[in-house]
Amino acid sequence: MSSASSKTWDIFCRVVDNFGDIGVCWRLARQLASEHGLAVRLWVDVPQALRVMRGQEQPLGWEPSNLKVLRWESSEAIASLGEVVMEAFGGGLPEWAVDKLAHQNKASLWINLEYLSAESWVASCHGLPSPHPAINLKRYFFFPGFGAGTGGLLREGTLAEQRAEFADGGGAQALWTSLGGQDPWREAFNISLFSYEVRNLSGWLDVLAQGDRPTRLLIPVGRVLPQIRDWVGAGDLQPGDAIQRGRLICRVLPFLPQPDYDRLLWACDFNVVRGEDSFVRAQWALKPFLWHIYPQADDAHWIKLEAFLGRYLAGAPEALAKAVRALSEAWNGRRPIGPAWSAVQVQLSHWSRHAVSWGGELAGHDDLATSLVKFVNKVL
């Protein structure tokens, strides 16, 4: 247990990008409470997003004793803020929280948890303070990242053990059966698809349908589902529906709670993910994956995607790096997906080995929660 165990942490999360923001905050809050013994209060502006992610309908405010979930606007719920106050992803704090920071008797350490980026400038800004323009307080900028000089990635202490137990204990078949599957899991090439809307998606689906092996596409309810519906020509698609065309079966899944989604990533041969939370979890799954990066109007997402690919593929064989880069660019709209997907098939075994090696490299650094606790102990 951390030496920070006597401290209270307040984490404030605005739900901006569907479930990505709250997904990160929920995992972080749980880990700080369970592994570091901290009293954690998670303040959320869209409580229903968290209810879906937890996979249970508990009354808001119900949690184990050292983890509470509170409404963003509930200023009367507490007399003062904790020793650590964290705003997630530049979402700011409610006005009442800023007022408490400025006037309460005890000082709080204010941390701005930034978005994950592989860009080279991140390490030079990580941990730096910045004075608030209106009150006599500093905010410290804390950057998740992929290597030394950053805050690392979210990773529970038992993650590797859970993943290995899943693989050794027939976890994939058990998960598939729990989702309503009746056939043997390993008789198909299994792909999970959690994505934004995709340009030229139909071309990729055509390639899968005409392929030389049976492919199962598992689609949790989300933004890409209407495109699947249009391609299969269905009036509507609901969780549990399965439609086959050629060698491709499209199976619709419910929106999965985080533990089940992790297991889906572990079970599949290939994963397509979006946003920050699923992006990180795909890397811990140790499987080939595609990242559908959130598109930005000024094309800043291309800089971020290139920065990640440069780091991710640095140790990969040249042919694999070329194929993965081409497919990543295609999925994110720069070229047709079908030909890029066909070209990467001969590299899949190399990609699988590279994914394991990459995960091992990442695991050599402190996880995000541990890095945060160490930083707080140092500053305070």
Q: Which residues are catalytic?
A: 21, 276
- Work out whether the CA dihedral 362, 363, 365, 371 comes out positive or negative: positive
Terminal CA-CA length for the chain: 17
- Burial of residue 97 (CB within 10 Å: 0-12, 13-18, 19+) is buried
- In angstroms, rounded to a whole number, what is the distance separating the alpha carbons of residues 227 and 337? 15
Buried b / exposed e over 312-326, threshold 16 CB at 10 Å, is bbeebeeebbebbbb
Contact predicate 54/26, CB 8 Å: yes
Stated as kind and residue range, the H or E segment containing 274 is strand 270-274
Contact predicate 46/76, CB 8 Å: no
Helical H segments across 1-75, by residue range: 20-36, 47-54
Point out which residues pair with 39 in neighbouring strands: 8
